Structure 1
Amino acid sequence: MKDLYQILGTSRTASDAEIKSAYRKLAKKYHPDLNPDDKAIEQKFKEVSQAYGILGNAEKKQQYDRGEIDASGQQQNPFHSGYTQQGHPRSGAAGQGGGGGFDFGQEMDIGDIFSDLFGGRRQGPRGAGAGARGGVPKRKGSDVKYECSVNFVEAAAGAKKRINLADGKTLNVTIPPGTDNKQVLRLKNQGLPGKGGAPNGDALVEIKIEAHPMFTRKGYDVHLDVPITLMEAVEGTTLTVPTVTGKVKVKVPADSNTGTTLRLKGKGIDDIKGHNRGDQLIRLMVTLPKETDKELRDFLRNWAKSKDYDPRKDTGIFD
Structure 2
Amino acid sequence: MDKMIKLGIIGTNWITQQFVDAIKLAKTYELTSVYSRHEQTAKDFAAKNGATESFTDLGTFFDNGAFDTVYIASPNSLHFEQAKLAILHGKNVIVEKPAFANQKQMAQIQELLTNHSDVLYFEAARNIHTPNFHAIAAKLAEMTTVQGAEFTYSKYSSRYDQVLAGKEPNVFSPKFAGGALQDLGVYTVYDAVALFGMPQEVAYFPQLIRTGVDGKGTAILSYPEYTVTLNFSKVSNSHMTSEIYGLKDLISIDDAGELRQATYIDADNNRQVIANTIDENPMLPEAEDFARVINDPQNEQNHKDYENWRQLSMHVNKLLFNLRQDAHLYFVGEEE
Instruction: Name the TM-score class by shorter chain.
Output: under 0.3
Higher helix share: 2
TM-score, L = length of structure 2: 0.19
Greater RCO, CA 8 A, separation 6+ = 2
- Greater gyration radius: 1
